[in-house]
Amino acid sequence: MRKMLSICDNYALEFHMSFNAQKSKCMVILPSSRRCLKQLLDKCDLKIGGKATEFVSSYSHLGHLLTDDLGDSEDIMKRQGDFIGQVNNVLCFFRQQASAVKYRLFSSYCRRRILLSHSITMQSTHSTVAGC
């Protein structure tokens, strides 16, 4: 890893660029049989642009929450919270509208995101299973 970061630093110097170490994160993913090594790896000092990178246990990437245990419960909880927030917004802002109007708003505003999110999740699960 240090060698790859060194290559990035050399590339940045050659092309007069800089990498932002504050936006760069490092997440260690280990099999459950080697979780005891995580504490040792967290103490590693990985630097980019001369500044240390932060070690994290979860990170949001392309709208999905990735965790170091490869679980999806946190991502599901986040999506449930987002959905509840959307439903509350529709109910709050349009409380005086007829039920048919609220249903139409719910269908276009909330349900579409759920179906899209479910479709993306199913595609990533299918590609993971196919790659085994």
79 and 52 both lie in a single domain: no
25 and 50 both lie in a single domain: yes
Paired strand residues for 59: 66
- pLDDT value, residue 123: 47
35 and 83 both lie in a single domain: no
Percent of the chain whose predicted confidence (pLDDT) is above 70 = 77
Cα dihedral 110, 111, 115, 121 in deg (nearest 10):
40
49 and 77 both lie in a single domain: no
64 found inside a domain: no
Determine the structural domain holding residue 25 and report its residue range. 2-56
Percent of the chain whose predicted confidence (pLDDT) is above 90 = 1
103 found inside a domain: yes
Q: Is pLDDT above 80 for 96?
A: yes
Mean pLDDT of 33-37: 72
Mean pLDDT of 108-126: 55
How far apart are the C-alpha atoms of 124 and 108, rounded to whole Å?
24
Domain boundary at 33, 56, 79, which? 56
- pLDDT value, residue 62: 81
65 found inside a domain: no
| Structure-token pair, residue 8 | 């990035």
